[in-house]
Amino acid sequence: MGEGKNRSSMADGYSRFEASMGPLVQNLFPSPLALSALLDSIPVGVAVLDEHRRLLYFNQYLESLTGFHRDQVWGLPCRDVLRTDLCHPHCPFIEASSRVEDVSLEGDIINRDRRKIPVRVSSIPLLESEGSLLGYMEIVEDIRLLKASETAGHAYSFGEMIGHSPKMEELFRIMPIIAQTDSSVLITGETGTGKDLAAEAIHQASDRARGPFIKINCGALPETLLESELFGHTKGAFTGAVSDKPGRVRLGHKGTVYLTEVGDLPLSLQVKLLTFLDDKIIYPLGSTKGFQADVRVVAATHRPLEKMVQDGRFREDLLFRLNVVRLHLPPLRERESDIVLLMGHFLGLFAERFRKKITGFSEEAAQILQKFPYPGNARELRNAIEYAVNICQDERIKPEHLPAYLAAPQSSAAEPERGVQEGPSGPPPKWSRVAGANWTDMERQMILDALIQAKGRKNKAATALGWGRSTLWRKINQYGLES
């Protein structure tokens, strides 16, 4: 009985609130406008509370922000729904109620998916014409992008790396210190976490920044060529050696040599690399004369080197020699607070590059991007947004512009269809909606579709894709589509 009385009282309070606003809404337009339609059209969260701060109304924006439907929260205390850190230990809005004044504060809410979202909450007292308090209106603004732009321009970046999660903040704190030494650095982390960016950022922040930065992919060349690429050779050292060739390590003199995928280095070359790290002298193939190379060595790998040592696939002494300073880059799933920041960064980057006037993401697209686990980490997020910017013709990126597999990660084992559309019209190509298609397959098929629709004219295909002609040629060669 008491509960029914309370609900009746709250309903009466809401009716009184609506009645007090009614004349104002009616006088603005020739025909009356429903209060809910007006509040639902506002692009910020709006909640109406009674005098005891129990919820009477929730607009659609606040539903999407919190994950609660308005029918679920009606009559609940505000603190049980918004779950903001401003509520504890004392609600500042309640303390301000005695003064009947507007209050605006920033804090974090925890939505239904247990995600922390930075917001600005403003509480506005609602008064009757006689001055008595009816209730409150709370305006809740999502300030994630604002926070992202603030942090990107300040201390939360190093080189081209950005982030404000605790793990990235710690990296950004120590990387400038590491850059000032000449110790060997081993960078570990999953594929796509930004190891190349970290290595180059260390070089650019060091005293060697004016010297060369030489990148050597230890897994990209066969063993027979890798030693020559690393250390050089003399004329006649082997069949085809028609002239002397300086190795890439020698080319890095007075600079930094970056060994990416060092876990793929053959055992025979691991010995020679270890010898070089000990005495800094290069012996080219076919020569007994050494060259003193003043280089700093930075190595990176996504492989578990300790496990490879146990299996006899990597030398323990080389690991000790490389592992003087170790940096581990966390996967994107461990830095969730950086996803929105990276989304905005990549969107701005590609919108400018492709000359698109795209201002942001729809709420649905943003949710898809934030919830995906990203086994390919920041590189996968970057590729997904590059794809979306390529095909988006609107002002905001929507779910249909995203790679299809993002919305169905559980079906990633499915094999993408290879069908292409004939002609410039009709529904979107099959590859754009296949759950489980990976980025490589989709980009390859996207190029094929563009070439088919452009009837082989590469200039027209490049324009349709939003690329330069040179970019299209590079992608054609990369995917073996020359024929």
Q: What's the pLDDT at 396?
A: 92
The residue type of 381 is L
**pLDDT confidence band for 274 (50 / 70 / 90):** very high
For residue 325, which phi and psi values (nearest 5 degrees)?
A: -120, 130
Residues in a beta bridge with 186: 299, 326
**Looking at the structure, do residues 114 and 217 belong to the same domain, yes or no?**
no
Asked, for residue 248, whether it belongs to a domain, the answer is yes
Q: What's the pLDDT at 324?
A: 93
**Do 64 and 364 contact (CB within 8 A), yes or no?**
no
Here the CATH number for the domain that contains residue 111 is 3.30.450.20
Cα 26–Cα 28–Cα 33 angle in degrees, nearest 5: 45
Asked, for residue 34, whether it belongs to a domain, the answer is yes
Q: What's the pLDDT at 15?
A: 47
Q: Looking at 92, 109, 142, which one is the last position of a domain?
A: 142
**Looking at the structure, do residues 179 and 82 belong to the same domain, yes or no?**
no
3-state DSSP assignment of residue 125: strand
**Do 274 and 315 contact (CB within 8 A), yes or no?**
yes
Q: Which two tokens stand for residue 198?
A: 């970290």
For residue 97, is pLDDT > 50? Answer: yes
Asked, for residue 27, whether it belongs to a domain, the answer is yes
Instruction: List, for residues 347-373, the tens digit of each pLDDT value.
Output: 999 999 999 999 899 999 999 999 899
Greater pLDDT, 105 or 13: 105
* Integer Cα distance of 399 and 362 in angstroms: 8
> How many helices and strands, by DSSP H and E, does the chain display?
20, 18
**Looking at the structure, do residues 39 and 109 belong to the same domain, yes or no?**
yes
Q: What's the pLDDT at 297?
A: 95
Asked, for residue 161, whether it belongs to a domain, the answer is no
Q: Which of 66-70, 213-217, 466-470 has the lowest mean pLDDT?
A: 466-470
**pLDDT confidence band for 325 (50 / 70 / 90):** very high
Q: Looking at 272, 296, 329, which one is the last position of a domain?
A: 329
For residue 342, is pLDDT > 70? Answer: yes
Greater pLDDT, 402 or 415: 402
Q: What is the DSSP string of 224-255?
A: HHHHHHHHEE-TTSSTT--S-EE-HHHHTTTS
Short-list 399, 443, 436, CA closest to 417: 436
Q: Is 24 exposed, middle or buried (0-12, 13-18, 19+ CB in 10 A)?
A: exposed
**Looking at the structure, do residues 266 and 411 belong to the same domain, yes or no?**
no
How many alpha carbons lie under 13 Å from residue 336 in its C-beta half-sphere?
10
**Looking at the structure, do residues 117 and 226 belong to the same domain, yes or no?**
no
Bridge pairing between strands 256-260 and 213-217: parallel
Q: Is 230 exposed, middle or buried (0-12, 13-18, 19+ CB in 10 A)?
A: buried
**pLDDT confidence band for 88 (50 / 70 / 90):** low
Sequence-ordered list of residues with C-beta below 8 angstroms from that of 410, at least 6 positions apart, any chain: none
* Integer Cα distance of 407 and 384 in angstroms: 12
Q: Looking at 306, 329, 352, which one is the last position of a domain?
A: 329
Cβ atoms within 10 Å, residue 342: 21
Bridge pairing between strands 133-142 and 116-127: antiparallel
* Integer Cα distance of 458 and 480 in angstroms: 15
**Overall average pLDDT of the 164-168 stretch:** 89
Domain count, the chain: 3
Q: What's the pLDDT at 410?
A: 44
Left, alpha or beta for 315 (phi > 0: left; psi -120 to 50: alpha)?
beta
Q: Which of 5-9, 109-113, 136-140 has the lowest mean pLDDT?
A: 5-9
**Overall average pLDDT of the 225-247 stretch:** 81
The residue type of 241 is A
Residues in a beta bridge with 285: 233
How many alpha carbons lie under 13 Å from residue 342 in its C-beta half-sphere?
29
Per the listing, tokens 């004329």 go with 235
How many alpha carbons lie under 13 Å from residue 363 in its C-beta half-sphere?
11
Asked, for residue 155, whether it belongs to a domain, the answer is no
Asked, for residue 39, whether it belongs to a domain, the answer is yes
For residue 319, is pLDDT > 80? Answer: yes
For residue 477, is pLDDT > 80? Answer: no
**Overall average pLDDT of the 319-325 stretch:** 93
Q: Which of 36-40, 341-345, 399-403 has the lowest mean pLDDT?
A: 36-40
Instruction: List, for residues 432-460, the tens digit of each pLDDT value.
Output: 444 444 566 677 778 887 888 777 788 78
Short-list 94, 20, 16, CA closest to 56: 16
**Do 245 and 285 contact (CB within 8 A), yes or no?**
no
**Do 58 and 70 contact (CB within 8 A), yes or no?**
yes
Q: Which of 15-19, 252-256, 465-469 has the lowest mean pLDDT?
A: 15-19
**Looking at the structure, do residues 190 and 323 belong to the same domain, yes or no?**
yes
Q: What's the pLDDT at 431?
A: 41
**Looking at the structure, do residues 344 and 440 belong to the same domain, yes or no?**
yes
Q: Which two tokens stand for residue 207?
A: 């005293």
* Integer Cα distance of 128 and 76 in angstroms: 23
Instruction: List, for residues 282-296, the tens digit of each pLDDT value.
Output: 888 877 788 888 999
Q: Which two tokens stand for residue 53?
A: 């701060």
**pLDDT confidence band for 101 (50 / 70 / 90):** low
Asked, for residue 251, whether it belongs to a domain, the answer is yes
Greater pLDDT, 91 or 260: 260
**Looking at the structure, do residues 41 and 82 belong to the same domain, yes or no?**
yes
Here the CATH number for the domain that contains residue 213 is 3.40.50.300
Q: Is the peptide bond before 23 cis (omega within 30 degrees of 0)?
A: no
Here the CATH number for the domain that contains residue 428 is 1.10.8.60
Asked, for residue 182, whether it belongs to a domain, the answer is yes
Domain span at residue 421 reads 334-478
